[in-house]
Structure 1
Amino acid sequence: MSYRASAALQGAVYDCLRRDPGVAAHVGDAVFDALPIAAPGGVYVSLGPEEVTDLSDSGGAVSRHDFVVSVLAGSDEGAGFRAVKEAAVAVSAALEGAALATATGHLAGLWFLRARAKRVENGAERRVDLTFRSLMDLA
């Protein structure tokens, strides 16, 4: 089992989202690799949890990374999910099938798995958690 590609994958995902014009159209430069201490106004993106599984065999070292990218909006964005969902669509479009260059290992594939939209903070804030799966070839 190897966790060595995790930081490189996170950096590549972060860079992809920061550079993507579709994401920027919805959140500007509000893409974070961790939730900010004080939530910014408007809609923003934050990289979240990750689960890594070893898929290595006699052919080489491979790891599967299931990771979450969250799109959030505070109560200042009104009562609906629309802005958050539109930004989530942009995030998904930017990452699905992206050919990310990583400093460690080789990205063998990147897919959307699921999304969950929910209200948080007494229903005043909105959140969409997008889960993606990637395979990293570590040979």
Structure 2
Amino acid sequence: MTYAVSASLQTAVYGLLQADAALGALVGAAIFDRPPAGSMPGLYVALGPERVREAGDKTAYGAWHEFEVSVVTESAGFLDAKNAAGAISDVLHGADVALGRGVLVGLWFLRARAGLETDGRRRIDLTFRARVEDTVAP
């Protein structure tokens, strides 16, 4: 098992989201690795929790990463959030991107959950699954 590729995967996912014109047209620059303190934009995207399982074998260290990307909006309905969530899914599902360390074997949409926050904001949590292998031999 290795967790060593996690930072490279996060950097690649964040970069893909920031570079996507369709998502940028919807949320502007409001794509966060970590939401800043203070007031938030009316619609934003944030990287969220990650769960990792071992997936190595005799030939390579590897791991399955399940991570969330959240869309949060103050809008009265879910339409803006769903449009942004769709753009995120389009950009990440099946993405082929080089990692700073390791190799991305595959990246897939897994599930989504839409709901209301206690403060009335709408939130969609998209979960993606990535399979990575480390380039450092076991």
Q: TM-score range by the shorter chain?
A: over 0.9
Residue type at the aligned position of 1:132 = F
Residue type at the aligned position of 1:21 = A
User: Residue 116 of structure 1 contacts residue 130 of structure 1 at CA under 8 Å; is this kept in 2?
Assistant: yes
Residue type at the aligned position of 1:10 = Q
Q: CA deviation at 1:40?
A: 1.8
Q: Give the match's secondary structure for 2:22.
A: helix
Percent of matched pairs sharing the same residue? 46
User: Residue 22 of structure 1 contacts residue 94 of structure 1 at CA under 8 Å; is this kept in 2?
Assistant: no
The list of structure 1 runs, each at least 4 consecutive aligned residues, that deviate by more than 4 angstroms after superposition, is none
In the alignment of these two chains, the number of paired residues is 135
User: Residue 45 of structure 1 contacts residue 69 of structure 1 at CA under 8 Å; is this kept in 2?
Assistant: yes
User: Residue 30 of structure 2 contacts residue 41 of structure 2 at CA under 8 Å; is this kept in 1?
Assistant: no
Q: Give the match's secondary structure for 2:65.
A: strand
Q: Which of 74, 91, 96 matches 2:93?
A: 96
User: Residue 18 of structure 2 contacts residue 29 of structure 2 at CA under 8 Å; is this kept in 1?
Assistant: yes
CA deviation map 1:28-79 (0-9, x unaligned): 11100012223422211000000111111112211110000000112xx2x1
In the alignment, structure 1 segments of 5+ residues that lack a partner are: none
TM-score by length of 1: 0.93
TM-score by length of 2: 0.93
In the alignment, structure 2 segments of 5+ residues that lack a partner are: none
Distance between the aligned counterparts of 2:13 and 2:66, measured in 1? 12
Q: CA deviation at 1:121?
A: 2.3
Q: Which of 116, 119, 122 matches 2:116?
A: 119
